[in-house]
Structure 1
């Protein structure tokens, strides 16, 4: 067999060392209801959500069980709220994989049991802190001490992302509230308040899937960078989860909004670029008619 044919056969396994934790007809797109890095109002979403109840859940690679729980305790530095949870150790990759919100039926899966991707280890449910039945799946690198975006390690045959992200609304973060902003109308500011945006990304034009975005860039009209986000991994540093640029949650989000920029009086003209993972990107120019709010001098 020629070298290029061998490379063609093994390349997918080199690039994508894991299999999907649920099985799917490869002629259909896999539904993903939440992606890596989204805001959860006070923390980063650290994995993928795959909706559905009673779906068989499989190990993504060979490994062994290192943790199982029906409560909301912690395993090492991995945050928990996942109800019935299974965590596997994959020695070849030096990684952990996690499966949360399972149906509570783990009695036969004792710790140190070896597993393989061909044998289901549970079914998706809604145990723990969950708004509906789904599997929350995550990958944790022991070497990097970081949560990894699972889309970077899983084969690309089960999902598609065909639509551009959309900016649904802009807002200003004031000391006591979030004020919705109409960017086409002039407004005044009394201080250096952050500009916010609610950005969404659906898989297709008609999809109801709620995806987060994979990257976000905000630049001034002179090309200076004001915000740069890339959700490949979330690092655990100094007892806080941070982006690769060492930004903690409060520097990236204000509730469900992305923080785009500060000092709008100095930088009223912005270019915003956002995109999903291996999907089309959005580029939008923003020209704010902002002036400083005049205050009366004290007598």
Structure 2
């Protein structure tokens, strides 16, 4: 979905913070949230996780594969905001599609995107587990699913919902794919033992994917560290993003373009001298499953 849709809404919600009590706790047990789609197969249904690349912005929630199923509030609260295409049928549809936002108190908001157009009138008071909509495919959506967002600090911080929802099953370590060097719009795959020629500083990227209980699931990772010749060049966490300096930053203070190049994780813009170099990739998913892979290659500097 388009990042500006969420941006404008959250900026509005942030400025409304004086109407709500200050946040007291971010502890999972304090909130006692439940999954918004009630199914015994939730581990199979999660199709995307928080912090993944969406080419030009962070994926800011969890996607649950679902169509025409009931959507439930993850906890009690008050109705904060709704936006349905039927409110203004002549206006261009937002990326989030039909949407419901709920205020759970103490600065916590939950949001439910791409809902089916069929909906009833919601009262101001929302109960835990109350039906608030039906999963659909509205907005910028390529298939039936619920995009679920959880934010704290009155919308200033969007967090990984997996931290606060009941645990899902995942015993599979991330898969670290190839290493790439990019020159303009082109890129070259680098395998261990390769020799490459470089004339300038170029971005290096790596493809990392994590799977859940199904091999077809393709997730991002929660932590990634890149080491160049035994020294760290970048370490990033994807547990939250915060709106600062007119942009969304991860907890390391890095923007999207500092962390990704299109759909790949950015190792860095590297000016490598001639000689042997080793890039080590350490990737960890939300459940602590870790993968490590090293690429050793040789550089000939042409300038």
Q: TM-score if structure 1 supplies the norm length?
A: 0.83
Give the corresponding residue for 1:262: 269
- CA offset digits 1:100-123 (Å, max 9, x no partner): 00101234125xx11112321111
Q: Does 1:70 align with 2:60?
A: no
CA distance in 2: counterparts of 1:13 and 1:129, whole angstroms: 31
Structure with greater helix percent: 2
Candidates 99, 112, 117, aligned match of 1:104: 117
Change (3 A) 1:190 1:251: same
Change (3 A) 1:16 1:273: farther
SS at match of 1:151: helix
Change (3 A) 1:141 1:71: farther
Candidates 144, 166, 180, aligned match of 2:189: 180
Unaligned runs of 5+ in 2: 1-26, 88-93
CA distance in 1: counterparts of 2:104 and 2:37, whole angstroms: 18
Q: Does 1:85 align with 2:85?
A: no
Q: Does 1:245 align with 2:252?
A: yes
Q: Conserved in 2, the CA contact under 8 Å of 1:163 and 1:279?
A: no
- CA offset digits 1:205-226 (Å, max 9, x no partner): x52111111110112333x221
Unaligned runs of 5+ in 1: 1-11, 74-79, 295-299
Structure with greater strand percent: 2
Q: How far 1:48 sits from its partner (Å)? A: 0.1
CA distance in 1: counterparts of 2:44 and 2:28, whole angstroms: 20
Q: How far 1:143 sits from its partner (Å)? A: 5.0
Q: How far 1:162 sits from its partner (Å)? A: 1.4
- CA offset digits 1:67-101 (Å, max 9, x no partner): 1112499xxxxxx621000000011x421100000
Candidates 233, 245, 263, aligned match of 2:240: 233
CA distance in 2: counterparts of 1:16 and 1:122, whole angstroms: 22
Q: How far 1:132 sits from its partner (Å)? A: 0.3
Q: Conserved in 1, the CA contact under 8 Å of 2:238 and 2:250?
A: yes
Aligned residues: 269
Change (3 A) 1:118 1:175: closer
Q: How far 1:151 sits from its partner (Å)? A: 0.6
CA distance in 2: counterparts of 1:43 and 1:189, whole angstroms: 29
Candidates 221, 237, 240, aligned match of 2:229: 221
Q: Conserved in 2, the CA contact under 8 Å of 1:48 and 1:136?
A: yes
Give the corresponding residue for 1:14: 29
| More moved, 49-58 vs 38-47 | 49-58
Candidates 162, 176, 181, aligned match of 2:171: 162
SS at match of 1:262: strand
CA distance in 1: counterparts of 2:199 and 2:210, whole angstroms: 33
Change (3 A) 1:268 1:15: farther
Change (3 A) 1:238 1:106: farther
Give the RMSD, CA atoms, in angstroms: 2.3
